[in-house]
C-alpha cells in the first residue's frame, strides 16, 4: 500500500467513482480528467472509491486526488495508504468486494413509504413563504388531482429562525392540527432542517455558551457563508451538542407528530481551514458527522455526504435546473444516479421533478416547458424514489398533468418491487438502479448513460431529448416484454416508438 501510485489503464478498461456530480463524465477513459476529493464535493455525495470494468478498484480511508491522462492515471493521498485491489472479474465484482470490505451495508433501510409512493415537497410552490394554509391546500390538491398520498416535505422557513426549531407562530398557528389533518389524509410529514444557526439569535448565544458551536482560530464562533446568508455552525464532534440537537428534533416528533427530517447543508465548501471543533476534523469528516445524525430517523434525506455508502440514508441528487442539459439538467439524472449507486449510495432520489434549483426556476417561471416536466417525471418514475415540488396541476394543461399522474401511479404499482430491492440493498449494498455494464459485463455497454436497469430484470429507457418521439434502446441477451406488450429478443439495438405519452421500460423473462 502506498500514498501515491500510478496505474496503467488496461485495454478496454473503464473507470467510475469519486464524486456523484461527475457521473456525467463517467466512465473515465477517453478524456483527461482531474479531481481533488479533499477540496471538492460539488454539493452532492462523494466517496474515496474508484471502480473498474475489469474488476479492479481503488479505496482509501482519506480523500485523494486522481488524474486520468492518456492510458494511465495517478492517485495521490496526503495522509493515508491507497488500496489497489484487482482480480474481481468485472464492475460488479469490484463493487461487491470493495463494499463488503470498506463500506458494508448494515441491514437497515429508510422508511418504506419513501420507495412505494411519490414524494411531494413544498419548495417550488412556496419557497421561503410556507404557511399552514398553503401546506394543507397543497396536500389536498395532490389528492384532488389523482395522485396517491405519500411523504410530504415542508421545506425551508417553516421555523422561527435558523436554529430555532419551532413552527413560526404567524405562518403556522396550529401545527399540531395541521399534522393531524395531513396524517388523516394519508401523508407522513418531514421538515427541512440544517446544521446552521442565525448568529444573532438567542439559540446561537446559548449554544456558544455551552460549547456547541465550531470556533475559529481566535476562539470565537466560526461563521459559515451559505445560500441563506451567514450562520454559526453546530459542532457535531461534541456529543453533548449532538444530543442537544437531536432532543429538539425529537420534541418536534413528540409534540406535533412530525415523522422525519430533510437534512440540508453540511457541505464541504462551507467548512473553512480555520474552523476548530471539539475534536480535530476536516470539512469532509464534518459532512460525515452531519450524516450520522440521520441514522436515528427512518424518514430522512441528505444531499451532501462523504463516505456514507451502505448507510440507511436517502441521498438526493443536487438541485437541478429546469432544462434538458447534461450538465445540471434532466440529462444528468441517469449518469449521476448511476454514479450514486456505484459509490454505495443505494437509496437515491432524483431532484424535484421539473427542477429544484429555485433561481433557475424563477427565471423560467413564465416559460415552463411542459414536455420537460413530463419527461422528467418519466425518468424519475422507476428510480428508487420520485419527488414532485412544482404542482403539476398548476403549471400543466390537463393532458400533460394526466401523464405525470400516470407516472406517479406507475411508481406506486412497482413500489413493492422497488422496496424489495431496497431491502436487498440493505444487506448486499448493491445499487437499486444499475449501470448496463454492472448487470451485463463484457458486452460493450460501458458508455451507455441514457438507460438503466432497475435491479437485474427491468430495463428503463426514458426519453431525454426535447421533441424526440423515438428512443434508441440497447437490449442485452434474453427476451424482454415491454410496457407496450411487445416482445424483443436480445441482444440487439432497436429504435422504439416513444411519444410523449410513453416511458419505454421492459421486463426480462
pLDDT of residue 79: 78
How many angstroms separate the CA atoms of 287 and 35, rounded? 18
Q: What is the mean pLDDT of the chain?
A: 97
Task: Please choose, from the candidates 504, 501, 479, 502, the residue with its C-alpha nearest in 3D space to the C-alpha of residue 490.
Answer: 479
Q: Are 384 and 452 in the same domain? A: no
Q: Are 153 and 290 in the same domain? A: yes
How many angstroms separate the CA atoms of 227 and 1, rounded? 41
Task: Please choose, from the candidates 240, 138, 129, the residue with its C-alpha nearest in 3D space to the C-alpha of residue 182.
Answer: 138
Last residue of a domain, one of 69, 102, 135: 102
Pairing of strands 15-19, 46-52: antiparallel
pLDDT of residue 31: 79
Q: Are 439 and 409 in the same domain? A: no
Cα torsion 348, 352, 356, 361 to 10°: value is 150
pLDDT of residue 362: 87
CATH number, domain containing residue 77: 2.60.40.1760
Residue 221 in domain: no
pLDDT of residue 361: 86
Structural domains counted in the chain: 3
Q: Are 58 and 120 in the same domain? A: no
Last residue of a domain, one of 52, 71, 102: 102
Residue 57 in domain: yes
Q: Are 174 and 287 in the same domain? A: yes
| Location of C-alpha cell 486522481 | 66
Residue 220 in domain: no
How many angstroms separate the CA atoms of 459 and 449, rounded? 13
Q: Are 13 and 90 in the same domain? A: yes
pLDDT of residue 1: 52
pLDDT of residue 366: 85
Tell me: cis bond preceding 28? Omega within 30 of 0 counts. no
Any alpha helices (H) in 86-218, and if so which ranges?
A: 91-102, 113-116, 123-126, 132-144, 175-185, 202-209
What lies within 8 Å, CB to CB, of 112 at 6+ separation is 419
Helix/strand/coil (H, E, C) string of 227-281? CCEEEEEECCCCHHHHHHHHHHHHHHHHHHCCCEEEECCCCHHHCCCCCECCCCC
Per-residue pLDDT of 190-202, as tens digits, reads 999 999 999 999 9
Residue 209 in domain: no
Q: Are 386 and 503 in the same domain? A: no
Q: Are 131 and 46 in the same domain? A: no
Residue 405 in domain: yes
How many angstroms separate the CA atoms of 373 and 390, rounded? 9
What pTM value is reported for the model? 0.97
Q: Are 249 and 308 in the same domain? A: yes
Last residue of a domain, one of 399, 423, 447: 423
Question: For residue 143, how far is the Cα from the chain centroid?
Answer: 26
Which residue range forms the structural domain that includes residue 442?
433-508
**pLDDT averaged over 10-residue windows placed end to end, the chain, 509 residues:** 87 97 94 94 97 98 95 91 97 98 98 98 97 98 97 97 96 98 98 97 96 97 97 98 98 98 96 96 97 98 98 98 96 98 98 94 90 98 98 97 98 98 98 98 98 98 98 98 98 98 97
Asked if 381 and 332 touch (Cβ cutoff 8 Å), the reply is: no
Q: 76 pairs with which residues across the strands?
A: 4, 65
Residue 453 in domain: yes
Residue 224 in domain: no
Residue 418 in domain: yes
Amino acid at each position: 500500500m502506498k500514498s501515491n501510485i500510478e496505474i496503467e489503464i488496461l485495454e478496454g478498461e473503464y473507470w467510475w467513482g469519486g464524486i456523484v456530480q461527475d457521473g456525467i463524465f463517467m466512465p473515465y477513459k477517453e478524456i483527461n480528467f482531474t479531481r481533488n476529493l479533499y477540496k471538492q464535493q460539488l454539493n452532492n455525495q462523494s466517496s474515496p472509491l474508484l471502480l473498474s470494468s475489469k474488476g479492479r478498484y481503488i479505496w482509501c480511508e482519506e480523500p485523494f486526488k486522481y488524474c486520468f491522462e492518456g492510458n494511465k492515471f495517478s492517485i495521490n493521498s496526503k495522509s493515508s495508504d491507497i488500496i489497489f485491489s484487482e482480480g474481481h472479474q468485472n464492475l460488479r465484482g469490484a463493487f461487491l468486494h470493495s463494499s463488503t470490505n470498506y463500506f458494508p451495508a448494515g441491514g437497515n433501510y429508510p422508511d418504506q413509504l419513501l420507495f412505494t409512493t411519490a414524494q411531494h415537497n413544498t419548495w417550488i410552490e412556496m419557497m421561503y413563504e410556507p404557511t399552514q394554509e398553503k401546506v394543507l391546500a397543497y396536500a389536498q390538491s395532490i389528492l384532488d388531482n389523482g395522485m396517491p398520498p405519500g411523504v410530504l416535505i415542508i421545506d425551508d422557513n417553516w421555523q422561527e429562525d435558523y436554529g430555532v426549531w419551532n413552527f413560526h407562530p404567524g405562518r403556522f398557528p396550529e401545527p399540531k392540527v395541521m399534522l393531524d389533518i395531513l396524517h388523516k389524509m394519508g401523508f407522513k410529514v418531514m421538515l427541512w432542517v440544517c446544521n446552521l444557526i442565525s448568529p444573532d439569535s438567542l439559540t446561537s448565544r446559548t449554544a456558544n455558551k455551552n460549547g456547541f458551536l465550531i470556533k475559529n482560530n481566535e476562539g470565537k464562533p466560526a461563521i459559515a457563508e451559505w445560500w441563506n446568508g451567514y450562520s454559526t455552525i453546530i459542532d457535531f464532534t461534541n456529543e453533548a451538542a449532538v444530543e442537544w440537537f437531536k432532543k429538539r428534533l425529537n420534541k418536534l416528533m413528540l409534540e406535533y407528530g412530525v415523522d422525519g427530517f430533510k437534512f440540508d447543508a453540511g457541505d464541504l465548501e462551507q467548512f473553512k481551514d480555520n474552523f476548530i471543533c471539539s475534536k480535530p476534523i476536516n470539512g469532509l469528516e464534518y459532512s460525515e458527522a452531519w450524516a450520522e445524525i440521520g441514522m436515528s430517523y427512518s424518514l430522512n434525506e441528505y444531499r451532501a455526504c462523504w463516505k456514507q455508502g451502505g448507510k440507511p440514508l436517502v441521498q438526493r441528487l443536487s438541485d437541478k435546473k429546469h432544462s434538458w442539459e447534461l450538465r445540471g439538467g434532466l440529462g444528468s439524472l441517469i449518469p449521476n444516479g448511476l454514479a450514486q449507486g456505484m459509490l454505495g449510495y443505494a437509496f437515491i432520489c432524483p431532484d424535484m421533478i421539473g427542477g429544484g434549483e429555485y433561481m433557475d426556476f424563477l427565471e423560467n417561471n413564465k416559460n415552463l416547458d411542459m414536455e420537460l416536466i413530463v419527461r422528467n417525471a418519466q425518468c424519475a418514475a422507476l428510480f428508487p424514489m420520485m419527488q414532485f415540488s412544482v404542482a403539476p396541476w398548476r403549471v400543466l394543461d390537463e393532458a400533460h398533468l394526466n401523464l405525470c399522474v400516470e407516472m406517479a401511479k406507475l411508481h406506486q404499482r412497482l413500489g413493492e418491487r422497488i422496496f424489495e430491492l431496497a431491502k436487498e440493498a440493505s444487506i448486499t449494498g448493491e445499487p437499486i438502479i444499475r449501470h448496463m455494464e454492472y448487470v451485463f459485463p463484457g458486452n460493450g455497454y460501458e458508455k451507455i448513460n441514457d438507460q438503466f436497469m432497475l435491479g437485474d430484470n427491468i430495463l428503463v429507457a426514458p426519453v431525454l431529448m426535447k421533441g424526440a418521439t423515438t428512443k434508441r434502446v440497447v437490449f442485452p441477451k434474453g427476451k424482454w416484454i415491454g410496457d407496450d406488450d411487445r416482445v424483443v429478443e436480445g441482444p440487439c439495438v432497436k429504435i422504439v416508438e416513444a411519444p410523449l405519452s410513453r416511458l419505454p421500460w421492459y421486463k426480462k423473462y
